[in-house]
Amino acid sequence: MGGVAALARALGHEVAGCDANIYPPMSEQLAALGIRLDPGYRAEHLEPPPDRVIVGNALSRGNPVVECMLAARLPYVSGPQWVGEEVLAARRVFAVAGTHGKTTTTALLAWLLDRCGRAPGFLVGGVPENFGVSARLDGRGAGGQATFSARPSALRPRPSDFVIEADEYDTAFFDKRSKFVHYRPEICVLNNLEYDHADIFPDLAAIQRQFHHLVRTVPGNGRLIVNAEDAHLAEVLALGAWTPVTTFGIERGDWRARLLAPDGSHFVVLRDGRELGAVRWDLLGRHNVMNALAALAAAEAGGADVAQALTAFASFRGARRRLERIGEPAGVRVYDDFAHHPTAIATTLAGLRARVGAARILVGLEPRSNSMRAGAHADELAPALREADAVVLLDPPGLAWDATRATAALGARGRTAPSVPALLEALRQLVQPGDHVVFMSNGGFDNAPRRFVALLAESAAAPRTADAG
């Protein structure tokens, strides 16, 4: 919704918004755009009455703002529908869907198109480091700036390209379809598909049905970019597909990769068995190599020059909170990561393990997503953490399951903490110089990663302060 607000501002609207929790990096981005942020949900936030209310899917009946909006009969629309009607309708849409990797793949696809002179607009569920904003209308000056490596003659005429992260979560309290049915993409990436969002989907088949609804919206002259290694996506396509399909995968598919480094930082790209070039970049893990293949295949389907796109990987900096290194106090590297599903946790840690070798990896984990809080992934959590040398799992009041189910399976490597301060103290006692500490949560985590950096810095400075005295 922060990205939606940024797009509305770029279109010339006066924008204000409210949320239960306001924290960086989105709060900083919106403040820089002159968008007023009101903490909490109170009816007075709708005074004076706005011309239109754009409703996020976190709000439900009983929320004071929602009740005021309905009682006052204010015009309202969901965020995805507004984006579909006001932003995407006049643009060629690249959509990136999947359980994992949407933010990274969307940011990467936007970067590849940008470096190929396409100046795309984008809406990403995070902040791509290369752009510094989560959304822009396009790179020609409306809602963001871009520099071009291509000749002006290489720029595509209107309609301009727009890259959007396409989420399967429901749209709003009044529209229970998945968000991505509003986007009508011409080129659509299906990155992977697993069971998630246990609060709204009863089983995997229900999610597959929503993905098939998305497939039904892609025109015959478009392109589906599909993970060839994902059996669940194959089942979606078996329900019917009316669009040409291009596949990708490390082991099989039209687009493939041959790893030259075990951590995924160096690999060769192949198309139909023919080598196209090598990639060296800063991202880690097999999962990010898959993201790279998906983005490159989508960029090529949109007309980008593959050779030029390959050169752009070296300058891709990823997205914030995707194994983002935020400090190295006292010889300890501290990372902030968004992983919250067992598969994402496992692949992220596997990539880091391949990079750091025998160095210790410590994890501070907040079970914050609806599925995590409900315990839908409880039995999968310990196996997902197998690469960690020590894990401190936040066990806050009200958690619907016994967190020791996961930590007990980890043996001496696992423990719980009842609060963020207790978690930070537990990690402080465990950490040693040379360790890598990863904080994992899809929420603010009470700013735990940066608090830990400050805690270690203070501990390191304490002896020097005492000597000086």
- Residue 188 belongs to domain with CATH number: 3.40.1190.10
Q: What is the arithmetic mean of pLDDT over 387-400?
A: 91
Exposure class string for 429-441: b at 16+ Cβ within 10 A, else e? ebbeeebbbbbbb
CB count within 10 Å of CB 416 equals 21
Predicted local confidence at residue 463, as pLDDT: 55
Checking phi first, is residue 129 left (phi over 0); if not, alpha (psi -120 to 50) or beta?
A: alpha
Exposure class string for 388-397: b at 16+ Cβ within 10 A, else e? bbbbbbbbbe
Nearest to 349 by CA among 325, 375, 323: 323
Backbone angles phi, psi at 175, to 5 degrees: -145, 100
Q: What is the arithmetic mean of pLDDT over 398-416?
A: 88
Q: What is the pLDDT of residues 142-179, one digit of tens each?
A: 334 333 333 333 444 557 999 999 999 999 999 999 99
Classified as helix, coil or strand, 334 is: strand
Q: Is the peptide bond before 75 cis (omega within 30 degrees of 0)?
A: no
Predicted local confidence at residue 22, as pLDDT: 79
Taking each continuous run of H as one helix and of E as one strand, the counts in the chain are: 15, 22
CB count within 10 Å of CB 458 equals 12
120 and 255, same domain (yes or no):
yes
Count of structural domains, the chain: 3
369 and 250, same domain (yes or no):
no
H-helix or E-strand containing 275?
strand 274-280
> Where a domain ends, among 315, 343, 360?
315
What percentage of the chain carries pLDDT values higher than 90? 71
305 and 401, same domain (yes or no):
no
Q: What is the pLDDT of residues 10-25, one digit of tens each?
A: 999 999 999 988 777 7
SS (H, E, C) 285-313: CHHHHHHHHHHHHHHHHCCCCHHHHHHHH
Position 428 pLDDT exceeds 70: yes
27 and 148, same domain (yes or no):
no
pTM over 0.85: no
Higher pLDDT, 464 or 370: 370
68 and 119, same domain (yes or no):
no
Band of residue 71 on the pLDDT scale cut at 50, 70, 90: very high
List, as one string, the DSSP characters of 11-51: TT---EEEES---TTHHHHHHHTT-EEEES--GGGG-SPPS
Predicted local confidence at residue 126, as pLDDT: 83
Q: What is the arithmetic mean of pLDDT over 288-297?
A: 96
Position 201 pLDDT exceeds 90: no
- What residue numbers bound the domain in which 91 lies? 81-315
90 and 37, same domain (yes or no):
no
332 and 366, same domain (yes or no):
yes
Position 469 pLDDT exceeds 50: no
List, as one string, the DSSP characters of 350-413: HHHHHHHTTS-EEEEE---SHHHHHTTTHHHHHHHTTT-SEEEEE--TT-SS-THHHHHHTGGG
Position 246 pLDDT exceeds 90: yes
List the beta bridge partners of residue 187.
94, 223
Higher pLDDT, 199 or 1: 1
> Where a domain ends, among 49, 79, 109?
79
List the beta bridge partners of residue 277.
269
Distance CA 316, CA 112 (A): 9
Predicted local confidence at residue 464, as pLDDT: 53
> What CATH number should be reported for the domain holding residue 52?
3.40.50.720
Q: What is the arithmetic mean of pLDDT over 293-315?
A: 97
Predicted local confidence at residue 155, as pLDDT: 40
347 and 415, same domain (yes or no):
yes
> Where a domain ends, among 265, 296, 315?
315
| Residue 50 vs residues 12, 15, 20, 188, 246: alpha-carbon distances, Å | 15, 9, 20, 34, 45
Position 393 pLDDT exceeds 70: yes
CB count within 10 Å of CB 85 equals 11
210 and 352, same domain (yes or no):
no
Position 79 pLDDT exceeds 60: yes
Predicted local confidence at residue 380, as pLDDT: 85
Mean pLDDT estimate for the chain:
90
135 and 284, same domain (yes or no):
yes
Predicted local confidence at residue 267, as pLDDT: 96
Between strands 170-172 and 175-178, the pairing is antiparallel
* Most confident among 179-183, 367-371, 404-408, 442-446 (mean pLDDT): 179-183
Amino acid at 377: H
403 and 449, same domain (yes or no):
yes
CA 339 to centroid of chain Cα atoms:
9
Checking phi first, is residue 81 left (phi over 0); if not, alpha (psi -120 to 50) or beta?
A: alpha
178 and 47, same domain (yes or no):
no
Predicted local confidence at residue 150, as pLDDT: 35
Q: Are 254 and 246 in contact (CB under 8 A)?
A: yes
